[in-house]
Amino acid sequence: MSFKQSQVVKKQGQIEMPRRIAVVFPGQGSQAVGMLNELAEVYPIVEQTFNEASEALGFDLWAICQDEVELAKTEYTQPALLTASIAVWRILQEATDIEPIYLAGHSLGEYSALCAAGAICLADAVKLVHARGQLMQQAVDGIATKMAAVLGLDNNQVISICEQIESNNDDAIVSPANFNSPGQVVVAGNLRGMEILSQQIQCTGKRMVPLKVSVPSHTALMQPASEALAEKLAECEFQSPNIPVIQNRDASEEKTIIAIKKALAEQLSHPVLWTQTMQKLADKHINLIIECGAGTVLSNLAKRQETPITAYATDKPERLTKLFEKLNEE
């Protein structure tokens, strides 16, 4: 099956705009028990990709995807999501002739993007993120932590509240972890910091929604994991990406392997700049985003940016069909 993409998008009055595609890869929180089961029934490459990853890891990753308890463990969540993304990427490579201008990934998804771009092979990538998950969990063993999404406040307001909490409470740790879209900032910290934050958010009349994530990613609590991950990255063979990848650390495309690895390590203890990443894609005139992997988190976020971009999810056959129909438009 082959779907040829049209060279123009007739969406802005009488102006014919060239189709400019970016592919984005989801991070933790997008996992679901049985993810990609329906696609696996249609596309053999899904099972083949999971078998390849399982062989590299030494355990059955597909079986873990059917087990709610195991899938929730970050050391398994991460390789499972990465493998799901690469399986869908391979479907797209087989079924379409898309040539993305940029790739990007949210947190863990950055590794999926680099794998899709040929910077790291699947076997090394799943082993690396499996270790990443273990290091992240070890960094906060014995520490009660939480992550939550703050809805309805802008970035600077959330930053200011977190800074005030830490300044006024020696035992509180809390900071932004993900700048996802205007009005949605994920925060993380220890239990004390998050409890104070919850009280203050209630006073503003806005909402804070707890997230099902087992570690406080992208905060200072991850500094030990960041340092240990840097050592793992130094040992791992990378190539220059064959498609530009916008990384989370500075919402920028790193040009050298050293810089790519540095950004990956630092990403763990610094917030994900997803809003800035999406704006960069908009500034580069991207007019179609494909979310490659499990769930619809990034597709939904694409619609909530200051410059919304049409986005398609790919984790179910019917969603892929909609994407293929779009790519076939004349």
Which residues are known catalytic residues? 107, 218
The answer to whether residues 189 and 197 touch, using CB atoms and an 8 Å cutoff, is: yes
Those residues whose C-beta lies under 8 Å from the C-beta of residue 160, and which sit 6 or more positions away, are none
Kindly state the tokens that stand for 170: 């020696």
Task: State the CB neighbour count (10 A cutoff) for residue 230.
Answer: 15
> Which of 21, 179, 3 has its CA nearest to residue 103?
21
Q: What phi, psi does 113 have (nearest 5°)?
A: -65, -45
- Closest-CA residue to 248 (of 265, 235, 230): 265
What is the rounded CA–CA span in Å between residue 266 and residue 282? 25
Here the contacts of 175-178 (C-beta below 8 Å, separation 24 or greater) are 175/219, 175/220, 175/271, 176/271, 177/147, 177/216, 177/217, 177/218, 177/219, 177/271, 177/272, 178/106, 178/107, 178/218, 178/271, 178/272, 178/274
**Does residue 319 come out as left (phi exceeding 0), alpha (psi in the -120 to 50 range) or beta?**
alpha
| Distance, CA of 250 to CA of 257 (rounded, Å) | 16
Q: What gap in Å lies between CA 294 and CA 281, rounded to an integer?
A: 21
Alpha-carbon distance of 161 to 179, in angstroms, equals 15
Place of tokens 């993120």: 129
